[in-house]
Amino acid sequence: MHSNFLVKTIIIFSLFCFNGIESKVLIFDLSQKNVEISKKSNQPDFIIFGYTDSTEPLVIKIKGPEQKVILQKKTKVMGMWSWKKTGEFIYPGLFHYYTNKNSEEIDFQIKKDLFDNIKLVGEDNDNLKRDLIEKKMSIDLFLIENDSFKVINDKLPSFFKIPINLPKNSPSGKYSVSLSIMNSINNFQSPEQNVIVEKLGLSSFVFKIAHKYSFIYGILSAIIAIGLGFFAGIVFKK
């Protein structure tokens, strides 16, 4: 993986030099594009290799598949209690930030970006967003790691790597990875890359059935619920 990435970097860098282009260079690659999360593994799930000639603050963003949560409120209508939809959260199932430096300005920009990526439909309440961020950070689904760029070789300080360890509760699906310069004037960003994350075991099987074959999953759930109700009725009748 090291050698392949170095060859790509040298070719791209040579093209910039040959054409006399004065531009910031941001290049990165992933050690693998398909990741299976296992509870037993202690190794990084994948590694990001990168090169840059920029001295400005940089950030790697790993963004998971979109998640939705319905907000409901218990209300009384015509003497009967019911649940009324009051809003909807739309947010990345995982959002990790890795930076090459550490400063208050970097933290401010990252937290603002995280806040802006959480959409609250139907109800404008910043406190709900803050509560969600705090909850997701407590289980590592939202994460900020400063000074996380590791130099591959002291003689080549522009080359770096970042070992990525995804939490075991990461949602399955397509993740986007990007590298950008944190600059309020010019938000320079490299092309995104994607990585597919899957879980091993029964939870992964249930997740796939629920999302790919939702109709069948609904029927099976109904049958199981009826069966359990029938079984419970027999047991308690005795």
The radius of gyration of the chain from alpha carbons, rounded to an integer in Å, stands at 23
- Identify any residues that bridge with 162 across adjacent strands, giving them in sequence order: 48
Residue 139, amino acid: I
Tally of CA atoms within 13 A in the half-sphere of 154 that contains its CB: 0
Q: Edge-to-edge strand order for the sheet containing 119-121?
A: 66-77, 80-92, 119-121
Here the tokens at position 199 are: 């879980």
Contact 210, 171 (CB under 8 A): no
Query: What distance in Å separates the CA atoms of residue 8 and residue 28, rounded to the nearest whole number?
Result: 10
Contact 74, 83 (CB under 8 A): yes
Global confidence as pTM: 0.74
Count of beta carbons in the 10 Å neighbourhood of residue 93:
19
Please compute the mean of the pLDDT values over residues 217-223 and round it to a whole number.
73
Here the tokens at position 181 are: 């310069």
The lowest-confidence range among 11-15, 74-78, 129-133, 185-189 is: 11-15
What is the per-residue pLDDT across 59-92, written as a single tens digit (0 to 9) for each?
999 999 999 888 777 776 666 777 676 778 899 9
